[in-house]
């Protein structure tokens, strides 16, 4: 081989080596699509899109739709969950349960999970911790009997965990003694703000206003989910498996089907609470103690309660849309 041909050959080898190094060293987002160079999934993508649906204040809160009892309204809600194959967890205010717990049994028969929301939705920020603990214990015992489960999830009413370290520690010690795991929330909706105007519209026979409120709920849940996805990406560096909070009321019974449909359009798929909590983000230290009921995404260390300014603005927006 002559000198010029050898030089050309070595230049070709050098070029091929450089191309190979560029592919190896390029960040995932810089790699081209195509069968030869598969794009790796972004970190945490196994959890992105997961959404657990939860409802507070079972068996029911607020007025029922006209001419419909608890069983009928609950069946409507459960039918929407079944349509979208959405497993749910419902958190019970045990003092509201009817004799024989027929409404709760509808949830259980549909394959959903029931959790403890204290007996009478008592606020840990406002009552003596001993009163709060007694209420939580009674509801826990009741639900173990009704469900036959040995593990009963717990959710703090108002998401209030105690405005002082002493209140927080007392309640947490009692829950640990009960072996009651905590069910956090990432997507904290304000459906309760719209529930009152919706009930009044139904009572007045104002179908147009009721429909407008229902549409506002769907848009609000979509806006809120998008907000918390942004917060997760900013705080965690990726999206997380989310846990959605709604309430068992007339507005949910009539519009949860549209809510779930919109969330599916936005890329969510529905999983159990257990599945969502597989995300390692829920193992992060949670250091917030204070008066606000916050999303888990605002709570974990270092806590960022100032981010709740967005939620307060959203509440003001909803109240302005449908004033009393």
C-alpha to C-alpha distances, 156 to 56, 116, 162, 166, 234, nearest whole angstrom: 10, 8, 10, 16, 26
Quick: pLDDT tens for 237-274: 999 999 999 999 999 999 999 999 999 999 999 999 99
C-alpha to C-alpha distances, 36 to 21, 32, 43, 131, nearest whole angstrom: 15, 9, 21, 65
| Per-residue model confidence (pLDDT) at position 117 | 98
User: Structural domain of residue 84, as residue ranges?
Assistant: 50-321
In a domain, 215, yes or no: yes
Residue 82 pLDDT greater than 70, yes or no: yes
Residue 6 pLDDT greater than 60, yes or no: no
CATH number at residue 78: 3.20.20.370
Element (H, E) at 148: none
Cis preceding linkage at 222, omega within 30: no
Q: Taking each helix axis from N to C terminus, what angle separates 70-83 and 250-265, rounded to the nearest 10 degrees? A: 10
Q: Which residue has the higher pLDDT, 48 or 255?
A: 255
Over residues 216-220, mean pLDDT? 98
Quick: pLDDT tens for 20-31: 433 333 333 332
In a domain, 45, yes or no: no
In a domain, 280, yes or no: yes
In a domain, 35, yes or no: no
Q: How confident is the model at residue 303 (pLDDT cuts 50, 70, 90)?
A: very high
Contact 97, 37 (CB under 8 A): no
In a domain, 139, yes or no: yes
Over residues 277-292, mean pLDDT? 93
Residue 96 pLDDT greater than 60, yes or no: yes
Q: Which percentage of the chain shows pLDDT scores above 90?
A: 84
Enter the pTM of the model.
0.86
Residue 78 pLDDT greater than 90, yes or no: yes
| Per-residue model confidence (pLDDT) at position 324 | 76
- Our count of domains for the chain comes to 1
In a domain, 140, yes or no: yes
In a domain, 114, yes or no: yes
What average pLDDT does the chain have?
89
| Per-residue model confidence (pLDDT) at position 45 | 67
In a domain, 36, yes or no: no
Tell me if residue 263 falls in helix, strand or coil. Answer: helix
Q: Taking each helix axis from N to C terminus, what angle separates 309-321 and 207-236, rounded to the nearest 10 degrees? A: 170
| Per-residue model confidence (pLDDT) at position 224 | 98
């Amino acid at each position: 081989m002559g000198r010029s041909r050898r030089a050309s050959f070595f230049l070709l080898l050098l070029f091929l080596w450089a191309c190979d190094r560029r592919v190896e060293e390029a960040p995932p987002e810089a790699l081209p699509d195509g069968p030869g160079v598969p794009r790796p999934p972004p970190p945490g993508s196994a959890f992105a899109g997961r959404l657990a649906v939860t409802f507070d204040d079972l068996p029911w809160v607020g007025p029922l739709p006209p001419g419909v009892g608890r069983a009928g309204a609950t069946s409507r809600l459960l039918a929407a969950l079944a349509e979208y194959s959405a497993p749910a967890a419902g958190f019970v205010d045990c003092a509201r349960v009817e004799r024989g717990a027929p409404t709760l049994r509808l949830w259980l028969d549909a394959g959903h999970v029931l959790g403890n929301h204290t007996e009478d939705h008592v606020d840990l920020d406002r009552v003596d911790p001993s009163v709060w603990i007694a209420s939580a214990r009674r509801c826990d015992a009741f639900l173990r009997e009704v469900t036959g489960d040995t593990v009963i999830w717990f959710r703090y009413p108002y998401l209030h965990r105690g405005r002082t370290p002493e209140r927080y520690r007392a309640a947490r010690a009692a829950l640990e003694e009960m072996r009651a795991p905590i069910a956090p929330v990432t997507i904290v909706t304000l459906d309760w703000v719209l529930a009152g105007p919706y009930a009044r519209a139904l009572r007045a026979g104002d179908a147009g206003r009721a429909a407008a409120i229902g549409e506002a709920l769907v848009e609000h849940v979509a806006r809120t989910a998008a907000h918390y996805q942004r917060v997760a990406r900013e705080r965690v560096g990726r999206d997380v498996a989310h846990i959605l909070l709604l309430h068992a009321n007339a507005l949910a019974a009539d519009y949860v089907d549209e809510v779930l449909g919109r969330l599916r359009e936005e890329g969510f798929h529905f999983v159990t609470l257990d599945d969502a909590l597989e995300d390692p983000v829920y193992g992060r230290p949670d250091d917030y103690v204070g008066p606000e009921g916050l999303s888990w995404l605002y709570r974990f260390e270092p806590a960022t309660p100032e981010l709740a300014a967005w939620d307060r603005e959203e509440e003001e927006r909803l109240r302005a849309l449908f004033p009393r």
